[in-house]
Amino acid sequence: MSKEHPTKAVRVAIQRPLYKLLDYACDVDIQPKPGCRVKVSLGNSVITGIIVETDVESEFATLKPIIELIDESPVIDEKLMGLLHWSSSYYFHPLGEVLFHALPVDLRKGKSVPKVEIWNATSAGLELPKDELKRAPKQQAMLDYVIQKDGADANNLKQLLGDNWRNTSRELIKKELIAIEEIDPQKLTAPATHVFSVNPPHQLTEEQQQCLTDIDAHFNEPKLRPILLHGITGSGKTEVYLSVIAPILKAKKQVLVLIPEIGLTPQLLSRFRQYFPDSNIDCLHSGLADGERTRVWLGAKTGSIDIVIGTRSAVFTPLLNPGMILIDEEHDASFKQQEGFLYQGRDMAIKRAHDLGIPILLGSATPSLESLYNVEKERYHYLRLNNRPGASNPPDIALQDIRTLPLDAGISSLMMTDIRQHLDNNNQVMLFLNRRGFAPVLMCQDCGWHAVCSHCDMGMTYHASMGKVICHHCGYEERVKSTCPDCNSTKLTTQGQGTERIEEVLNTHFPETPVIRIDRDSTSRKGSLEEKLELVNSGEPVILIGTQMLTKGHDFPKLTLVGILDVDQALFSMDYRAHERLAQQVLQVAGRAGRGAAKGKVILQTSQPQHPMLLSLLSQGYANTAQQILNERKLWNYPPLGCQALVRVNALDLQLAHNFISTLGADLAAINSEKVMLLGPMPSPLARRAKRYRFQLLISAEKRGDLHGFLHSVLSIISKIRKTGGVRWVIDVDPVDFL
DNA sequence: AGCACGCCGACT
DNA sequence: GTCGGCGTGCTC
């Protein structure tokens, strides 16, 4: 199209898998800014878009007009827009979807940004006689607070009064002692100066103090680098975090804290609230209602929230005065988003901190090889905490050769004796088994039939408590009948064990001791995890059985024995990351033991007591073992040395999926680049999942630039292949999961 | 992703 | 003759 009639236009991103932006005409009387949302027409429907660029010369002669400008000021500020742009191109994901991903659901749907509500005392409230609210202490507290602060917002009040604060507010409004004023967030002045104080729980140890001094020094270097804090389990990383954060808050800046998705939010939140009693602290996690999410988003954006604690997606929270970013358990796999927009939250955070010029601290007892490699390359500072405060020492891990021991449901007789002993000493015991359900195999003794998922072609796990077999890959479930579906035999039996079966066996062995199972099945009801944790925290002798839910962050002082039941399959996994993950998991679980006065003991059952990785982990510790694994990766140029991307294709029809990936594979092979290596196309390790046939193609390169360039070719080839029969494809940059 | 358009088989 | 299946391509 010609450029003879250039049009003043804006460029808009929409929430569609579309690798381009659309131009719209803009009325002269509206003032579009990048980052503002608009309503536009697309085809015959009206959708929400986000302005990316203004004053563009469109190559289209005629443009549809913008229907409405939703925001006067941007919902995505310039800095955040830059980060999102960057991640869109780094992860080869359409910009529109990336931008919308960074907004709370309400705003994605086009709802206007809510007004900020400010609670003020009315004149009646200001003049209220002293004892009038004597029988309503909460109302009195709220009224006093609002008067003292000269206007409080929802975040202040929630913090002051807890989750039911709206009820208190409603009563005071009914009595006309307090009124709500609605303010346009754009017209909000700088956040009300708030009192800052710290409530230190106890002194830092000498080692923690030294660490803090080092961090402060690094934060003040002209060229900021991320800091990796490698502190053994129980070394008090949280105490260091709190001390690091304090001066940032004191300077009236905000702190973003990212944590894994394992329900640790409440513990950390209360720890932070206790330490910073006058700061506004809020969480962002998957369990939040849409409205609540928007409230926290707005609170962070307007500066009324000082600390945002959140999981992966919180990395995109807007901040008025960003002061620093903290990532706890930085090695955790849940920082990688596994569907839709496939990004690494930890890497995004590092990029964001860099762009903002603010410090970032990564903490872990078992740092990822990626981070350790960055230390080696001197891109990160490295600090260590090697000791547990007080008398407590890290537990020793003992390997137990189970080949010669009698087993009951996978628990050795020696382990049973140890459990008995620790319980008799009034202590608590924890067993770790990363497999939920009763048994991974349900089979017929007569004909060899076993339960297989009809959607995935993989074995289904038997869940005795529900009387079902469940596919752990797609969730498909079936009721279990008393006879074999193939031969009608009644000799159905199970093989192997999951947490349910362990629970049952322990209940019969230790009928007088409560057995607490913590896995996704036993904690799905809201509040049930809290109930169970409370029982453990009572300090009574109990046996805990859990999956990886139980591995991180928990502090059970009476826990002295940890048993790790089944690590053998991870030792021989095809996945080159299996050893790294196993080492992390073993140390994280082991770290739950001996956090109180009594020394902890950890027993690791294995049929491979000579395995070099296990021996190394036990005798040389994590840092050395990680270094060895890293050296192996160097030999093969696996990440974090080289870099990878995975193209995944799936379809309901095997042939269609196969045709697609073969065409792509052939076209890419024809490029014959020396800089990249192709592995595949091949069936995915999980070749069928949820009725869809799956193939993949792994692309490796030594240099990121080469990989990136090659992925452009991938994208352009894919766009030329005709996609029939609903073939779906994704590009996964820096994949962590090859399933 | 939606959605319309268009080209072929099978139905009142 | 037309209804509707899905393959194809576009959305400013």
Write the pLDDT tens digit of every residue in A166-220. Answer: 888 888 888 888 888 888 877 766 555 567 888 876 688 999 999 999 999 999 8
| DSSP code for A599 | P
What's the confidence (pLDDT) of residue A1?
A: 41
CB A649 within 8 A of CB A729: yes
Q: Judge whether A375 and A241 are in contact, CB under 8 Å.
A: no
Strand C: list positions under 7 Å from protein Cβ.
6-12
Nearest of A197, A198, A196, A192 to residue A146 by alpha carbon: A192
Whether the CB of A18 is less than 7 Å away from nucleic strand B comes out as yes
User: Mean pLDDT over residues A590-616, rounded?
Assistant: 89
- In this structure, the protein residues whose CB atom falls closer than 7 angstroms to any atom of nucleic acid strand C are A 16, 18, 20-25, 40-43, 58, 60, 63-64, 722-726
Task: Say whether the peptide bond before residue A440 is cis (omega within 30 degrees of 0).
Answer: no
Q: What is the pLDDT, as a whole number, of residue A391?
A: 66
Lowest-pLDDT choice from A121-130, A362-371, A616-625:
A121-130
pLDDT tens digit string along A262-272?
777 888 898 99
**Rounded mean pLDDT, A231-258:** 93
The percent of residues in chain A predicted with pLDDT above 70, rounded, is: 98
pLDDT per residue as tens digits for the range A246-301:
999 999 999 999 999 877 788 889 899 999 988 889 999 888 899 889 999 999 99
- Is A211 among the annotated ligand-binding positions? no
pLDDT of residue A212: 94
Cα angle: A465, vertex A467, A470; to 5 degrees? 95
Confidence of residue A338 (pLDDT cuts 50, 70, 90): very high
- Per-residue exposure over A306-324, b if at least 16 CB sit within 10 Å of its own CB, e if not: bbbbbbbbbbbbbbbebbb
H or E element in which residue A708 lies: helix A704-720
Lowest mean pLDDT among A349-363, A382-396, A687-701: A382-396
Whether the CB-CB separation of A94 and A19 falls below 8 Å is answered with yes
Mean predicted lDDT score pLDDT of chain A: 90
Calculate the angstrom distance between C1' of C6 and CA of A725.
Answer: 8
pLDDT at residue A626 in the model: 96
The pLDDT-based confidence of A528 (bands split at 50, 70, 90) is confident
- Residue A40 (CA) to nucleotide C12 (C1'), in angstroms, measures 10
CA of A36 to C1' of B6 (A): 39
Q: In A297-440, where do the E strands start and end? A: 307-310, 322-328, 360-364, 381-385, 396-401, 407-408, 411-412, 428-432
Q: Look at residue A485 in the predicted model and tell me its pLDDT.
A: 86
pLDDT at A573: 86
Amino acid at A456: C
- Quick one: pLDDT at residue A5? 45
Cβ of A728 near strand B (under 7 Å)? The reply is yes
* Cα–Cα distance measured from residue A402 to residue A413, given in angstroms and rounded to the nearest whole number: 9
pLDDT surpasses 90 at A92: yes
Predicted confidence (pLDDT) at residue A125 exceeds the cutoff of 90? no
* More confident call, A393 vs A709: A709
CB of A610 within 7 Å of some strand B atom: no
Residue A6: the pLDDT is 45
Q: How large is the greatest C-alpha to C-alpha distance in chain A, in angstroms? A: 89
Domains and CATH numbers, chain A: 7-78+85-108 (3.40.1440.60), 116-183 (no CATH), 206-385 (3.40.50.300), 396-438+497-630 (3.40.50.300), 643-733 (3.30.70.360)
Instruction: Examine the pLDDT at A375 and tell me if it is beyond 80.
Output: yes
* Strands A152-153 and A116-121, bridge-based pairing: antiparallel
**Two structure tokens written together for A104:** 């709370």
* Mean pLDDT in residue range A23-40: 91
pLDDT at A191: 56
Q: What is the pLDDT of residue A566?
A: 84
Handedness of CA A211, A212, A213, A219 (dihedral sign): positive
Any strand B atom closer than 7 Å to A723 CB: no
- pTM (two decimals): 0.92
Q: Is A484 annotated as a binding residue?
A: yes
Q: pLDDT higher for A1 or A389?
A: A389
Given a cut of 90, whether residue A332 has pLDDT beyond it is yes
pLDDT of residue A2: 40
Q: Are A607 and A403 in contact (CB under 8 A)?
A: yes
Question: In angstroms, rounded to a whole number, what is the distance separating the alpha carbons of residues A53 and A618?
Answer: 56
Pair A95, A85: CB distance under 8 Å: yes
Residue A190 confidence (pLDDT): 57
